[in-house]
Amino acid sequence: MSELKNDVFLRALMRQPVPRTPVWIMRQAGRYLPEYREVRGQAGDFMSLCRNPELACEVTMQPLRRYKLDAAILFSDILTVPDAMGLGLHFIAGEGPKFKEPVQSVDAIRNLRVPDVEKKLDYVFEAVRTIRRELNGEVPLIGFAGSPFTVGTYMVEGGSSREFPTIKALAKESPDVLDHLMNIVAETTTEYLNAQIEAGAQAVQIFDTWGAALEGDDFRRFSMASMQKIIDGLTREKDGQKIPVIVFTKGAGPLLTDLAETGCDALGVDWTTDLATAREYVGDKVALQGNLDPATLRESPEVIRQGVADTLASYGKGPGHVFNLGHGITPDIDPEHLGALVDAVHELSPQYHDA
């Protein structure tokens, strides 16, 4: 593997001094880019794109050709894990992901097994290897997975949900059954992320989109404990390089204090908690990533620049900040507006660093 030419992202995650704040964007490879829509059209559908390592590599690289980003993120989906368990993932236009075989009974959950990740998800690891070759050491590659609770919501509800009635009922009425589901998904996810690291991922992020929908104690038992299991089981060093772990729980707020104890290296912060408050929650335990409101990208370049300035000021001086949005970029964004954001981070962030 070629030597890494730009490691500011990895250094910031480990709270080491950097000359400026690194920046990457959640969902940076995706539908706001016309070149992505073209490749997706060639692939036929979303999962065909995910399962084609060459095309997954192409869409991973697209944003890096446009913007001076400090990391690439593997193009894939959090639902590859339950798909590998045989739940029959498919996407319906306008409705999002669906499972042909959701696990909605106690027996169905008890019968779940950890799949052969290397065999079932080999297309993901081939994509990682292909992207690493293509990156040629320009920037590091982030691998990722969904948190067991977030992935579990789709497995139990059978698709997207706003209220999560089935899984919340499980938490209250059959918590041991939900524990079993979390354990199986955590074990599978640990193997999945370690295989991504083995294939070449240089950092990993766990996306916990729905964990904070649980009440505090349930959050700790089901979402946080299952992420803790993953973190404890991850390969944290490869070829002499540390592999940082980022946990992003949307809507975490004060729960950031608990999450900082999991052994992760960094926490993603959504736009509902300002970074100054987040720093108070976590002390000096972890780096922080975020957290401009994605809606800001609909505004003028001047407003975007001010938003970047405010976010940088909110974190303040010192290492340990990775600039990002507080959630994924939305499909309706003008690509030029993301360019304005990236340029503003490059221009405005050095004043917060001594390196």
> Over the stretch 9-24, which tens digit does the pLDDT of each residue have?
999 999 999 999 999 9
Please give the Cα distance from 21 to 203 (Å, whole number).
Answer: 17
**DSSP helix/strand/coil, 212:** helix
Q: What is the pLDDT of residue 2?
A: 66
Residues catalogued as catalytic: 27, 31, 40, 77, 154
E strand map for the chain: 72-73, 89-92, 96-99, 141-146, 203-208, 237-238, 241-242, 245-249, 266-268, 287-292, 321-325
Domain boundaries, the chain: 8-352
- CA 73 – CA 78 distance, rounded (Å): 13
Confidence at residue 141, expressed as pLDDT on a 0 to 100 scale: 98
Q: Identify the three-state secondary structure at position 159.
A: strand
Contact 287, 12 (CB under 8 A): yes
Q: Say if residue 291 is preceded by a cis peptide, omega within 30 of 0.
A: yes
Length of the chain: 355
Expressed in percent and rounded to 5, the helix, strand and coil fractions of the chain are 50, 15, 35
Distance of CA 11 to the CA centre of its chain: 18
- pTM, two decimals, is 0.97
- Residue 222: Cβ-neighbour burial (10 angstroms; 0-12, 13-18, 19+): buried
The confidence score (pLDDT) of residue 300 equals 98
Q: What is the pLDDT of residues 283-301, one digit of tens each?
A: 999 999 999 999 999 999 9
The CATH number for 8-352, chosen from 3.40.250.10, 3.40.50.720, 3.30.830.10, 3.20.20.210, is 3.20.20.210
Look up residue 317 and give its amino acid.
K
Residues with pLDDT less than 50, the chain: none
What distance in Å separates the CA atoms of residue 200 and residue 61, rounded to the nearest whole number? Answer: 15
CA 59 to chain centre: 16
Residue of 24, 12, 103, 8 whose CA lies nearest to 68: 24
**CA distance readout (Å), 54 to 28, 61, 99, 132, 292:** 18, 11, 26, 12, 32
The closest of 196, 266, 261, 207 to 234, measured between CA atoms, is 196
